[in-house]
Amino acid sequence: MRTIYLDYNSSTPVAGSVRDAMQPFLGDFFADPSSSHWLGRASQEAVEDSRASVAKLLGCHPTEMVFTSGGTESINLALLGSASQIASQLPSNAPKHLIISAFEHSAVTQCAEHLQQQGWGLTVIGCDKNGVIAVDDIENALRPATRLVSVMHSNHQVGTIQPVAQIAELCRSRDIVVHTDASQSIGKIRTLVEELNVDLLSFSGHKMYAPKGIGGLYVRAGVPLQPIMFGEGNESGLRPGSRNVPHIVGLGHAARLIDTALQDGADRMVELRDRFLARLEFELNQSVVVHARQAERLPNTLSIELPNMKSEQLLRHLPEICLGPVIDRDIEPSAPSRNPTLRALGLLAEAGQRTIRVSVGWQTTEEDVDRAAEMIASTVEVLRV
């Protein structure tokens, strides 16, 4: 059975040259970069090379880049670290308020709920039917006590790109810290911190052809953060613990690959994504519902509703095709979808249950998308009767 992997938004394979770049640091070059002997200095140089490569990809200064264990930790550091900093500068009874969108990754949602339990006011902003947050809704939600806003740059389920730069502009004059989760953007579209004008930007290695367990946080120069973990200080005092040199090297190499391949790669993703949809509709002899079709979307992402069939059922029949998450398993069909993005789009559980997410990537071929579309269409046809 040959697997067809169409789940790049969940995780990307580690690129071959990324693995090669990491190899020496899993072998002879094992020293701790904090050690002052020559072997330690070799590790330190490799870490700083990587930092420079990642910073170049994001258009920031290397000193503004903090390595973490992944997207989740970056988000925790961004939100909880800035919340502690903000709280430390205010009288203990001063009101504090933050705003997030309704379709954030659970790391953002749960950090926000944690802050709410600690007394922060929380406003969750919904999106329009195209999966895009209205800047006006953010503006209307701002209060004198608003200190923190977090809106993801691109959505993992439907791929919509959010107006982060405009949101950041609103917040800048009001001295509000702005974080964006760009985990789904890096490696798919050009993502420059200068254009986005944010204070904090988090991302994850395993969405950009580097391994799991590595990620980063951009911290704009002058934006104070408090650490959320304690121990031997590294990463500008924000992230204690010995650094994961092989993974950091892998992330740096992936950043260099992306920097050179991004434009051609994005054009290819669009072709593959649209080819899959056209083929599926041709084979089914009908059009399918595409979520957020009218919005600006990631080039590789397609969230669609299967006609008359639950995605769970489809995946049971096609174990060789790896697709996006299956959701809403046991839920009343007339209830709102349990997937936060589909719920924010106004979808009921019945539509959520028929939804699949196709996300293509660097290793996807035309043959993959053609075969997947054919197999999905014929399974839908067979199970329909």
Ligand X SMILES: Cc1ncc(COP(=O)(O)O)c(C=O)c1O
Contact residues for ligand X, defined by CB under 6 A: 70-72, 105, 107, 152, 156, 181, 183-184, 204, 206, 215
Is the CB of 9 or the CB of 44 nearer to ligand X? Answer: 9
Least CB distance from residue 81 to ligand X, whole Å? Answer: 16
Beta-strand relationship, 321-322 and 4-5: parallel
User: Of 35, 64, 12, nearest to 245 (Cα)?
Assistant: 35
Least CB distance from residue 72 to ligand X, whole Å? Answer: 3
Query: Distance of alpha carbon 353 from its chain centroid, rounded?
Result: 23
Least CB distance from residue 11 to ligand X, whole Å? Answer: 8
- Total residue count of the chain as it appears in this document: 385
Least CB distance from residue 158 to ligand X, whole Å? Answer: 12
Is the CB of 239 or the CB of 279 nearer to ligand X? Answer: 239
Least CB distance from residue 109 to ligand X, whole Å? Answer: 11
Least CB distance from residue 370 to ligand X, whole Å? Answer: 27
- Summarize the chain as % helix, strand, coil (round to 5): 45, 15, 45
Is the CB of 19 or the CB of 212 nearer to ligand X? Answer: 212
Is the CB of 115 or the CB of 280 nearer to ligand X? Answer: 115
Instruction: Indicate if the alpha-carbon torsion angle 149, 152, 157, 162 is positive or negative.
Output: positive
Three-state DSSP class for 365?
A: coil
Least CB distance from residue 247 to ligand X, whole Å? Answer: 11
User: Of 254, 255, 249, nearest to 48 (Cα)?
Assistant: 249
Owner of token pair 């071929």: 365
Is the CB of 108 or the CB of 223 nearer to ligand X? Answer: 108
What is the C-alpha separation between 179 and 201, in angstroms, rounded?
Answer: 6
Least CB distance from residue 381 to ligand X, whole Å? Answer: 32
Least CB distance from residue 268 to ligand X, whole Å? Answer: 21
Is the CB of 10 or the CB of 85 nearer to ligand X? Answer: 10
Neighbours of 338 (CB within 10 A): 15
Is the CB of 9 or the CB of 234 nearer to ligand X? Answer: 9
129-161: b (≥16 Cβ within 10 Å) or e: eebbbebebbeeebeeebbbbbbbbbbbbbbbb
The pair phi, psi for residue 334, each rounded to 5°, is -90, 0
Is the CB of 206 or the CB of 256 nearer to ligand X? Answer: 206
What is the C-alpha separation between 157 and 10, in angstroms, rounded?
Answer: 10
For ligand X, the nearest residue by Cβ is: 71
Owner of token pair 């200064």: 61
User: Of 214, 207, 223, 261, nearest to 60 (Cα)?
Assistant: 223
Which parts of 63-192 fold into alpha helices (H)? 71-88, 106-117, 135-141, 164-172
Is the CB of 190 or the CB of 317 nearer to ligand X? Answer: 190
Query: Distance of alpha carbon 205 from its chain centroid, rounded?
Result: 10
